[in-house]
Amino acid sequence: MDTSRTSHPGRVGTVERSESEVIASFATWASGTGPLYRRLADGIRKAVEGGALLPGQRLPAERQLAGVLRISRTTVVAAYEALRDVGLIESRRGSGTRITAHARARRTHTDGRVPGGMGASIYQHLIDGPEDLISLARSSEGAVPELVTAFRDLAGSDLAAAFDEPGYHPGGLPELREAIAAHLTGTGLPTTADQVLVTTGAHQALVLVAELYLRPGGTALAESPSWPCCLDVFRARGTGIVTVPIDEEGPDAVALAAALAARRPDLIYLMPTFHNPTGVLTSAARRRRIGELAARHEVPILEDNAYTGSLHLGESPRPLAAYAPRGAEVLSAGSLAKVVWAGLRTGWVRGPVEIIERLARRKALADLGSPVIDQMLAARLLPELPRIQAARVPVREQRLHHIEKLLRTRLPSWRWRRPDGGGGLWIELPGVDATEFSHVALRHGVEVVPGSMTDLTGAHDRFMRLAFTFGEDVLDSLVDRLARAWAEIGRRAPAATDRERVIV
């Protein structure tokens, strides 16, 4: 990311953003209605009004933007002209096209967009609401039937005792902490209740851990690729990110050792169990080696196990923390979202007692504790989790088989490795930048997550994540839309762009 400060006559000073970040700020433009040039103009306008694009920010040149978005230059010219007519942008010879100095974000509650980060567009569609769009950025599954049963049982029980007490449990409802501890012990990681903090989803666990360990100017180490919304949490702390590649056994141990020796990071963040987006299951040997390296260099690890139990039916390794030697500092985050229901915002982080106590203080400052009724439901579901996971595996297997068959028929040039688990395929597009394809796919009603959002080095620009957690009728429509988008992009010449990439 270019963080150089710029100064232009008649403009406020601003921090320049890279081309990819600028385009990401209005990445959902094509999902609107009306002529393409108007959609593009509206997308840029909303990015300015929401504060994602600041006064003085340079916009891509017309020909360059047209190439990336796979639209005609005439469309971009018309969009820029519409924005110039309302005084939102200006063009000067030698300076390019920029947001005008007087353009300001609107502060009303109706105009804002999700701020910052490569994963902002993923969250934006959650806020925008339903539309004729198939989003591959999030889970689409409804709740398991066991949740309904647990809810009815809870409603029919004697809740007076729960309602008689104040309801503040910053560390988590005691019975849920006990249930999580028992569940983790059953996975091969002996755990006591005081080693567990209940969080509002695994995402909050990431935020709290980042607040504890990361400081501006520090470094976090993660796999490449990784999930953009998670990396955004670390960047929000002003932390740089160093990455190591991932192979079929997990994070490359040789690259990890070299990275730790070159510059000891403040935190290692890994997804060892059904990594997102690749679906890789880190082997037991690799987990042990990672634990040894972290202990030797005295670097804490956060293992994100939010996808545990998805798809895989065979024997899985124990959590990474179970392989770490004495003295290693490993925190393990988990959640019920991917297995039970995304709407049950119940997660946890497990770690040394003194670290959990420090995280609990930050949790108290954030929200005074997660909702008690949700925690009571979760406590009833935890003992059933292995059975719930096993019941979901055949459904996921059938959906995976169905979409693979569709892809081989309609899009035979696409390549992928069958995932060990999780809910998505990591697709390699032959000869096409996935970011450019994502803009075309959006015009056909599909939101994809391109590899450039998961890895800023450029190594995965031709990859994209394709979720398959939908019903077969939606999968049929999904592949049909993708095939039409692929046919359209094939009719256009590859974009002649040369974008500089800098790891941040």
The answer for 170, left when phi > 0, alpha when psi is -120 to 50, beta otherwise, is: alpha
- Residue 114's alpha-carbon distances to 49, 51, 451, in angstroms, are 11, 9, 21
CATH code 3.90.1150.10 region(s) in the chain: 134-143+391-490
How much is the CA Rg of the chain, to the nearest whole Å? Answer: 24
3-state helix, strand, coil in the chain (%, to 5): 45, 15, 40
Q: Which of 224, 103, 251, 260 is nearest to 504 (CA)?
A: 224
Chain-centre distance for alpha carbon 245: 18
Contact status, residue 451 vs residue 436, Cβ threshold 8 Å: no
What are the distances in angstroms from CA 412 to CA 100, 404, 479? Answer: 46, 10, 12
b/e sequence 262-285, b meaning 16+ C-beta within 10 Å: eeebbbbbbbbbbbbbbbbbbebe
d(CA 362, CA 170): 9
Contact 307, 264 (CB under 8 A): no
What is the reported pLDDT for 130? Answer: 43
Given CATH 3.30.1960.10, say whether it is the number of domain 5-113.
Answer: no
CA 477 to chain centre: 24
Do strands 250-251 and 449-450 pair parallel, antiparallel, or not at all (unpaired)? unpaired
Class of domain 145-386: alpha beta
Every domain of the chain with CATH number 1.10.10.10 lies at 5-113
In the chain, what is the straight-line distance between the N-terminal and C-terminal CA atoms, in Å? 6
Q: Is 354 exposed, middle or buried (0-12, 13-18, 19+ CB in 10 A)?
A: exposed
Tell me if 197 sits within 8 A of 358, measured CB to CB: no
pTM of the model as a whole = 0.83
The superfamily CATH assigns to domain 134-143+391-490 is Aspartate Aminotransferase, domain 1 (3.90.1150.10)
Q: How far apart are CA 41 and CA 86, in angstroms?
A: 11
Tell me if 21 sits within 8 A of 1, measured CB to CB: yes
Residue 462: how many other CB atoms lie within 10 Å: 20
Do residues 214 and 239 make contact, with C-beta atoms less than 8 angstroms apart?
Answer: yes
- In the chain, where does the domain assigned CATH 3.40.640.10 lie? 145-386
As averages over each run of 10 residues, the pLDDT of the chain (504 residues) reads 36 58 85 87 92 92 92 94 94 89 66 52 50 79 92 85 84 97 97 98 96 96 94 93 96 97 96 95 97 97 86 76 95 94 94 97 95 95 92 91 98 96 94 93 93 91 95 96 95 47 30
pLDDT at 82: 95
d(CA 213, CA 487): 47
Coil, helix or strand at residue 239: coil
Comparing CA positions, the residue from 307, 21, 311 lying closest to residue 138 is 307
SS3 330: strand
* Res 116: pLDDT: 54
Cβ(239)–Cβ(216) under 8 Å?
yes
Q: Assess contact for 465 and 473: CB atoms under 8 A.
A: no
